Amino acid sequence: MMQSIGYENNECKGLVCKLKKAIYGLKQVQRVWNERIDFFLLSFGFERCHINLSIYCFDSQESSNVFLALYVYYLLLFSKDPLPLEELNNIFLKSLK
């Protein structure tokens, strides 16, 4: 293990910091992901369900409603009509590029 670039200490070249906990897998990761995906979905016009916060609804005036279920890192889209699902899928893919 070596001292990080930009944080070298010439007086203590052989010393490094030992982490008591790994950086990845912290409890805050899920909260940050949830805030980010919530902001992303609300910006597209989805509304969050008040009873179950992992369910979102998109009120499509031209066709049937679209429901989105969020489970960990998976997004499941449900609708009676396949057209709004295809449109939302294309919008999501374009926004990720």
**pLDDT (tens digit, 9 = 90+) per residue, 74-87?**
888 888 888 888 88
Compute the distance between CA of residue 41 and CA of residue 58 in angstroms, rounded to an integer: 9
CB 36 within 8 A of CB 24: no
- Which tokens sit at 67? 């429901």
Indicate the domain borders of the chain: 26-96
Q: What percent of the chain clears pLDDT 70, i.e. is strictly above it?
A: 78
Calculate mean pLDDT across residues 3-9.
72
Assess contact for 58 and 65: CB atoms under 8 A.
Answer: yes
Does 12 score more than 60 pLDDT? yes
3-state secondary structure of 49: coil
Which stretch of 8-22, 23-37, 57-71, 79-93 has the lowest confidence by average pLDDT?
Answer: 8-22
Beta pairing partners, 69: 55, 76
The pLDDT value recorded for residue 22 is 57
